[in-house]
Amino acid sequence: MELAEVGELLELLLPLFILQFILMIAALIAWVKTDQTKGPKWVWLLIIILANLVGPILFFIIGRRQD
C-alpha cells in the first residue's frame, strides 16, 4: 500500500474517529450522572471504554435504570 493511499484512507476515516469519540464522551458523562445502573457501575465504565462503538450504545440502551 502506498503511503499516499494510507493518508487518504485516514483522512476519510477521521470523521468516524471523531464520532466515536463524541459517542464515548457522551456515554461517560451519562455514566457519571446516573446513580443506578443495571449491574455494577464500574463494569459499565470498562464496557464504555474498552468496547468501541458498541459499548456506549449498549450503555445508552440497556445500561441505565429508568425508574
Partner 1 sequence: MKQFMTIMRKEFLEYWRNFSWIWVPVVFIFLSIMDPLTTYYMPIILDSVGGLPEGAVFEIPELPAPEVLMMSLSEISMFGVLIIILLTMGTIAGERKSGIAELVLVKPVKYPIYITAKWLAKIKLFLTAFIIGMLVSWYYVNLLFDTIPFTDWLLTVIFYSFWLVFVVSLTIFYSTLLKNPGLVAAVSVGTLIGMSIINSIFSHHLTWFPNSLSSHILELHKSGSIPSELWGTAFVTIVLSIGLLFLSFFTFQKKELA
Q: Does 55 bind partner 1 (CB under 8 A)?
A: no
CA pair distance 62, 52, nearest whole angstrom: 16
Helix axes 41-50, 3-33, angle to 10 degrees: 170
Binding flags for partner 1, 21-50, as an x/- string (CB under 8 A): -xx--xx-xx--------------------
Q: How far is CA 10 from the centre of its chain?
A: 20
Return the number of the residue (1 or 50) whose C-beta is nearest partner 1: 1
**What angle is formed at CA 53 by the lines to CA 39 and CA 5, rounded to 5 degrees?**
160
Write out the residues near partner 1 by the rule CB under 8 A.
1, 5, 9, 12-13, 15-16, 19, 22-23, 26-27, 29-30, 53, 56-57, 60-62, 64, 66-67
